[in-house]
């Protein structure tokens, strides 16, 4: 039994449980089981705490730190240029926040704060502030965030109730106590101030349910429940502008708010979360069959991201993985778990099976579009 991280209700049994290894969002393996619990009261899904969480984020978790220009691919624009994730986040954040002139804004859990840097480049009247639970990123803040506007490990007392806006991109899914976290944000905002955050939308990207360091898998219902409990009025829950994520805008309220009870939306969200857990259960069974069929034989894995890495964690010891195939130009020539990452066109001729490690909502179409992945004698194994 465990307590819901959002509403505190007791959740009896996990809806998904598999033995170690668990896989993190930065595709490293942890020697712990994966367990997901679904709350029928508020529609939240959550994973077990990961061991030594403070050290993990202080020194073990580095996003885009290796190179100045490394950024995650987001989409290709109509004119063929590549759109990077932080460019899209910056434009979307400016639109959703609609900040007044000279507003004071805090990037809370900022990492390198690329999104805020791009927002300030577009709006030089803004007063940027940054905070993170690691000092690894301080170098990336120099030159554009004033020294007094930088904080690590603890937020200065003098920052309480001072900001027009606080934003957190892909942070809240990692925290053990999301409502407590949102209350901390509430205390940093001026009355009526705006909180913008993004978190994965597990319904749009079911892989999120199996990510070990994502302790929270929010639904729209559990987002509303958490924010209301922390004293926010919800203004926008957008799950279309950034596929696979929620972008949420809420306003800090001075008055206590009525926290919603179980709603039809929460019941539906819980059902959807349990269905996703069932998907991962059957994916484990399919991989077990695949391992029995291809034990010690040569196979390739399509996708070196989360899904492909998850497959590797399940089959890597039992079969001979000769390559990961991936379209991401940044991974060309790299190795992943010591195995070469190749362009899909370079699928090794001796591979007898291709395990498909893609978002199951998009996998069939992505593979069908690549005729070179159809070859007599090559079996496709789907999640
Ligand atoms: Zn709950």
pLDDT digits (tens, 9 = 90+) for 329-357: 778 788 999 999 999 999 999 999 999 99
Element (H, E) at 325: strand 320-325
Q: Is the pLDDT of residue 30 over 90?
A: no
Mean pLDDT of 218-233: 97
Average pLDDT over all residues of the chain: 91
How many angstroms is it from 11 CA to the middle of ligand 1? 8
Q: Is the pLDDT of residue 224 over 90?
A: yes
Q: What is the pLDDT of residue 38?
A: 98
Higher-pLDDT residue of 320 and 24 is 320
For 265-313, what is each residue's pLDDT tens digit? Answer: 999 999 999 999 999 999 988 999 999 999 999 999 999 988 999 999 9
By the CB criterion, residues less than 5 angstroms from ion ligand 1 are: 4, 6-7, 9, 39, 41-42, 44
Q: Is the pLDDT of residue 67 over 60?
A: no
Query: Which residues make beta-bridge pairs with 257?
Result: none
The residue ranges of every structural domain in the chain are 1-294, 295-381
Q: What is the pLDDT of residue 348?
A: 95
SS3 115: helix
User: For residues 290 and 362, is the Cβ–Cβ distance under 8 A?
Assistant: no
Q: What is the pLDDT of residue 65?
A: 42
Mean pLDDT of 189-203: 96
pLDDT-derived band of residue 53, with 50, 70 and 90 as boundaries? low
Q: Is the pLDDT of residue 18 over 60?
A: yes
How many angstroms is it from 39 CA to the middle of ligand 1? 5
The residues, ordered by sequence, that sit 6+ positions from 325 with a Cβ below 8 Å of its Cβ are 300, 301, 302, 303, 304, 341, 342, 343, 344, 346, 347, 354
How many angstroms is it from 4 CA to the middle of ligand 1? 5
Q: What is the pLDDT of residue 256?
A: 83
Distance (Å, whole) CA 92 – CA 87: 9
Q: Do domains 1-294 and 295-381 have the same CATH topology?
A: yes
How many angstroms is it from 321 CA to the middle of ligand 1? 40
How many angstroms is it from 71 CA to the middle of ligand 1? 35
Distance (Å, whole) CA 300 – CA 324: 6
Q: What is the pLDDT of residue 274?
A: 98
Among all chains, which residue has been given the structure tokens 């990077």? 84
Mean pLDDT of 179-188: 98
Instruction: Determine whether 273 is exposed, middle or buried from the number of CB atoms within 10 Å of its CB (0-12, 13-18, 19+).
Output: buried
How many angstroms is it from 179 CA to the middle of ligand 1? 11
How many angstroms is it from 362 CA to the middle of ligand 1? 30
Mean pLDDT of 208-230: 96
Domain 295-381 - what CATH class? Answer: alpha beta
Two tokens, residue 19: 């033995």
DSSP codes, 150-173: EEESS--GGGTT-EEEEEEES-GG
Two tokens, residue 4: 């819901």
How many angstroms is it from 96 CA to the middle of ligand 1? 27
Q: Which CATH architecture has domain 1-294?
A: 3-Layer(aba) Sandwich (3.40)
How many angstroms is it from 224 CA to the middle of ligand 1? 11
Q: What is the pLDDT of residue 70?
A: 45
Q: Is the pLDDT of residue 60 over 80?
A: no
Among all chains, which residue has been given the structure tokens 């069939």? 364
How many angstroms is it from 267 CA to the middle of ligand 1? 11
- DSSP state for residue 194 in the 8-state scheme: E
pTM assigned to the model: 0.89
How many angstroms is it from 5 CA to the middle of ligand 1? 7
Distance (Å, whole) CA 81 – CA 103: 32
* Diameter over CA atoms, the chain: 68
For 84-135, what is each residue's pLDDT tens digit? Answer: 888 999 999 999 999 999 999 999 999 999 999 999 999 999 999 999 998 9
Among all chains, which residue has been given the structure tokens 């039992």? 318
How many angstroms is it from 211 CA to the middle of ligand 1? 19
Q: Is the pLDDT of residue 66 over 70?
A: no
Q: What is the pLDDT of residue 192?
A: 95
Phi-psi region of 226 (alpha: psi -120 to 50; beta: other; left: phi over 0): alpha
Q: What is the pLDDT of residue 56?
A: 65
Element (H, E) at 99: none
Query: Which residues make beta-bridge pairs with 37?
Result: 46
How many angstroms is it from 161 CA to the middle of ligand 1? 29
Q: What is the pLDDT of residue 74?
A: 65
**Orientation of helix 220-229 relative to helix 178-188, angle to 10°:** 50
Nearest to 54 by CA among 134, 159, 166, 140: 134
pLDDT-derived band of residue 217, with 50, 70 and 90 as boundaries? very high
Among all chains, which residue has been given the structure tokens 């034989």? 297
User: For residues 261 and 202, is the Cβ–Cβ distance under 8 A?
Assistant: no
Mean pLDDT of 66-82: 60
């Amino acid at each position: 039994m465990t307590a819901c991280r959002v509403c505190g209700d007791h959740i009896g049994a996990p809806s998904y449980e598999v033995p170690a290894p668990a896989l993190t969002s930065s595709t490293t393996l942890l020697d712990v089981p994966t367990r997901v619990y679904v709350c029928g009261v508020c529609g939240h899904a959550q994973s077990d705490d990961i061991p030594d969480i403070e050290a993990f984020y202080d020194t073990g978790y580095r996003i885009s730190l290796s190179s100045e220009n490394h950024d995650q691919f987001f989409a290709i624009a109509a004119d063929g240029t590549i759109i990077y994730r932080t460019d899209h986040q910056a434009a979307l954040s400016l639109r959703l926040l609609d900040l007044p002139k000279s507003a004071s804004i805090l990037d809370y859990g900022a990492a390198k704060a690329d999104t805020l840097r791009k927002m300030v480049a577009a709006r030089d009247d803004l007063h940027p502030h940054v905070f993170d639970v690691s000092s690894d990123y301080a170098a990336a803040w120099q030159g554009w965030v004033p020294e007094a506007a930088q904080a690590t490990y603890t937020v200065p007392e003098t920052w309480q109730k001072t900001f027009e806006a606080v934003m957190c991109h892909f942070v809240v899914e990692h925290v053990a106590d999301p409502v407590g976290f949102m209350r901390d944000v509430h205390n940093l905002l001026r009355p009526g101030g705006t909180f913008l955050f993004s978190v994965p939308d597990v319904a749009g990207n079911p892989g999120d349910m199996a990510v070990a360091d994502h302790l929270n898998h929010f639904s729209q219902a559990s987002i509303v429940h958490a924010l209301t409990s922390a004293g926010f009025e919800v203004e926008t829950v957008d799950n279309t502008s950034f596929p696979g994520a929620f972008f949420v805008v809420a306003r800090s309220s001075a008055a206590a708010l009525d926290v919603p009870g179980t709603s039809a939306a929460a019941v539906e969200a819980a059902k959807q979360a349990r269905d996703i857990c069932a998907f991962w259960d059957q994916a484990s069974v399919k991989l077990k069959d695949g391992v029995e069929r291809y034990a010690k034989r040569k196979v390739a894995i399509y996708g070196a991201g989360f899904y492909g890495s998850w497959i590797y964690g399940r089959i890597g010891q039992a079969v001979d993985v000769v390559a990961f195939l991936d379209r991401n130009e940044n991974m060309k020539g790299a190795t992943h778990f010591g195995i070469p990452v190749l362009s899909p066109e370079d699928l090794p001729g001796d591979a007898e099976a291709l395990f498909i490690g893609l978002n199951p909502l998009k996998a069939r179409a992505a593979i069908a579009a690549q005729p070179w992945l159809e070859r007599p004698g090559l079996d496709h194994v789907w999640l």
